[in-house]
A and B are shown apart, each in its own frame.
Chain A
Amino acid sequence: MLGYLVVFLSGTLFAVGLGVSGMTLPQKVIGFLDLGGHWDPSLAFVMAGSAGVYLLFYRWIKQRSSPLFDTEFHIPTRHDIDQRLLVGAALFGVGWGLVGLCPVPARP
C-alpha cells in the first residue's frame, strides 16, 4: 500500500516538475525546437537537470539488491540499436516538432 502511495506521489512530483520547468507549455517547447524564431534554450536546462540528477543517483540506487517495495528492479536490458527504435524515435520527433507536446503533458 505504501508502495502505491510513493507511485502516486512520484507522478504528482513529475507533473509539478513539468509545470515548474515550463514544459507543460507547447509554446516553450517549440521555442526550443524552432531554431528560426526567438530561440529559447530552457528545454536543454530541463533535460540537463532531470537526466543529471538521475545519472548522479542511479548507480547508488542500483547498488541495492532490490527496490524498497518490490523484489526486483524492472529495467530494460536490451542494448541493440534496431530499425524499429530509429523509425519510432524519428516518427515521435516529427510529431513532437509539429505540435510541441510529448506524451507527458498531453495526458492530463
Chain B
Amino acid sequence: MEGFTPVLSTIGGVLIGFAALALLYFNGRIAGISGIMGGVLRPQKGDTLWRAVFLLGLVTGAALILLLHPAAMDLRFDVSDSTIILGGFLVGIGTRIGTGCTSGHGVCGVGRLAPRSLVASAVFVGFAIATATTVRHVWEGF
C-alpha cells in the first residue's frame, strides 16, 4: 500500500460512498462515524441500537481486512505516544464540537453539497495539512 495508489484508492472511495448511500437509502441515516459513535456514548431511547449495529459492522469489516489483507492494517505512526494521545483527544473533542468528521462532513455532507459540511471539510483539511507539514518539517521533535 506504500506510494501512490490512485486505482485502489478510488475503488475504496466508491465502496465507502456506496456503504453510506445504502445507509441513507434503506435506513435514512447519515454515515457519520463520529456522530454514530457519539450517539452510542450518550444513548437516547430508540436511537442507539442501529448505531451499535453499524459499529459492529465496522469492526467486522476491519477483522475481514486483517484476515484477507493484513498489510492494510499495518499501522505505523511517526510520532510519539503522547502526540497520538493528544491527537486522539483533539479529534474526539473537535468532531463533537464541529458535529462531524471525514465521513459525516467529508463524504455525506460534501456529497449532498451541504454548506456547513463544505466549510467544515475545507477547514479540517486545511488545518490538518498545516499541522502535519509543520510538525514534521518546521517544528520537528514534536
Number of A-B contacts (CB under 8 A): 417
Tell me the minimal C-beta distance from B73 to chain A in angstroms: 6
The residue of chain B having its C-beta at the shortest distance from the C-beta of A2 within the complex is B26
How many residues of B are counted as interface, with CB atoms below 8 angstroms from the partner's CB atoms?
Answer: 106
When distances are taken between beta carbons in the complex, the residues of chain B under 8 Å from A101 are 87-88, 91
When distances are taken between beta carbons in the complex, the residues of chain A under 8 Å from B115 are 79, 81
Interface secondary structure of B, over-half rule: helix
Interface secondary structure of A, over-half rule: helix
- Are B129's CB and A35's CB within 8 A? yes
The residue of chain B having its C-beta at the shortest distance from the C-beta of A59 within the complex is B112
Residues of chain A touching chain B, judged by Cβ–Cβ distance below 8 Å, are: 3-4, 6-28, 30, 33-38, 40-43, 45-55, 57-58, 61, 64, 66-70, 72-76, 78-81, 84-108
Residues of chain B touching chain A, judged by Cβ–Cβ distance below 8 Å, are: 1-6, 8-31, 33-34, 37, 49-50, 53-65, 69, 72-79, 83-84, 86-99, 101-103, 105-116, 119-121, 123-133, 135-137, 142
